[in-house]
Amino acid sequence: MNDLSRPALGRLAINGQRLWDSLMTLAKIGATDKGGVCRLALTDLDRQGRELFVGWAREAGCTVRVDRIGNIFARREGIDPSRPAVATGSHIDTQPTGGKFDGNFGVLAGLEVVRTLNDLGLRTVSPIEVCVWTNEEGSRFVPVMMGSGVWAGAFSLGHALAARDRDGISVGDALASIGFAGSSPAAVADGAPRLGAYLEAHIEQGPILEDAEVTIGAVTGALGQRWYDVAVTGMEAHAGPTPMRLRKDALFAATHLMQDVIAIALREQPHGRGTVGSVDVFPNSRNVIPGRVRFSVDFRHATDEGLARMDSALRAAADAVARRFPVQAVVEQVVYFEPVAFAPPLVDAVRAGAQRLGLSCMDIVSGAGHDAVYVARHAPTAMIFVPCKDGISHNEIEDARPEDLSAGANVLLQAMLEQAALAPAA
């Protein structure tokens, strides 16, 4: 292979209009009145979205493989099929009040890379695969990032298939009912094909790029996370006859602990994050002193040491609340993600791609979890972020500019071709 036999990388370009049209077509499936999308994992709407993608991938000449957790891999063969695929992708399930771009952009940017190579008649040495990972959002089924987590061995296939939604429907049954219970191995440990590299394009879902007026984020890694369920237990009693000094008010005590969550995060700036996003009050009745409160805590930090400090501070705060008020406070960690550093050569490929295209680029750390975080356990991985309007995501008003999405897909094309290597002209 020599450089004269192939076009200069920096002159290749994806079709931005086609990418945008595909995004808008997919967004019609589960479209909400407010301009967002509700397409929960493994629902009939998810089936429709998956079938649309699979149809497009086959039209583009890809072969399609579905594994036992429902992950979809659309493959464009390379001239050396024995090489591990250079992969991209993301997810197409959404939050209940989700947007058009979260996840969907990464999948359709990958499809657009394939379509562009077809348009240009270019072949790559390594195969290219576009992945659609099952249940990234974790809204209907826990754990989140389920498909990539099974692939990476973060938890077992059996554990994932047995997870149930609020109506008692299991992931295994839901996969079968939408026709995406595939037969190929789902976990690398069980023989799922390894990936030579994984690059995921995604909207930033935060305000940093927009604030800096930069188009491309070269994602160097992801914040680690610890999630908790906190239970504060007192005693229900009648709101009228029970004097203030004789109450065991679980909600009043819990509000102190919630304040502590924020204070703990504020002590860990700039990377520390602390959020109480879900609260259940029992019995949640106007004239009953709350006997029990359950709430969630989401801590994030760039380092494991930082997360460990936040963890001990939360447990100490819970003990303090239980001493100060007549309640019990129990802290249970339910999710842990270690901080992840992406592969430096792939992060470099993102920076280099942006530079070749004359696009502004900055390094950024992902505050959100992504499939890429799990994939990174078994393949060199990096991500490409593009700005989204006002940094808003997981919201129906989520928005992104077509030119930024095109720029991100073009950087993806650059970085993937650098990894997969263009074959000499036939």
E strand or H helix that includes residue 311: helix 304-324
Q: How far is the CB of 204 from Zn ion (least distance, A)?
A: 11
Binding-site size, Zn ion (CB under 5 A): 2
Q: Of these, 103, 217, 274, 353, which contacts Zn ion (CB under 5 A)?
A: 103
Q: Are strands 72-76 and 128-132 parallel, antiparallel or unpaired?
A: antiparallel
Nearer to Zn ion, 102 or 210 (CB): 102
Region from 37-45, 96-104, 218-226, 265-273 binding Zn ion, contact rule CB under 5 A: 96-104
Q: How far is the CB of 103 from Zn ion (least distance, A)?
A: 4
In whole angstroms, give the CA distance from residue 296 to residue 331: 10
Q: How far is the CB of 93 from Zn ion (least distance, A)?
A: 9
Region from 103-111, 144-152, 219-227, 358-366 binding Zn ion, contact rule CB under 5 A: 103-111
Comparing CA positions, the residue from 123, 151, 137, 139 lying closest to residue 66 is 151
Q: Which residues pair with 364 in a beta bridge?
A: 219
The residue to which tokens 């379509």 are assigned: 115
Nearer to Zn ion, 38 or 288 (CB): 38
What are the structure tokens assigned to 425, written together? 């002209």
Q: How far is the CB of 397 from Zn ion (least distance, A)?
A: 16
Nearer to Zn ion, 239 or 392 (CB): 392
Q: Of these, 46, 93, 102, 260, which contacts Zn ion (CB under 5 A)?
A: 102
Q: What are the phi and psi torsion angles at 237 (to 5°)?
A: -160, 165
Nearer to Zn ion, 30 or 103 (CB): 103
Nearer to Zn ion, 123 or 370 (CB): 370
Position 184: which residue type? Answer: S
Region from 98-106, 115-123, 355-363, 411-419 binding Zn ion, contact rule CB under 5 A: 98-106
| Helices 44-59, 16-27: inter-axial angle, 10-degree rounding | 150
Instruction: Please return the burial class of 10, using the count of CB atoms within 10 Å of its CB with bins 0-12, 13-18 and 19+.
Output: middle
CA atoms lying within 13 Å on the CB side of residue 220: 6
Region from 61-69, 94-102, 277-285, 316-324 binding Zn ion, contact rule CB under 5 A: 94-102
Instruction: Name the residues that contact Zn ion, by CB under 5 A.
Output: 102-103
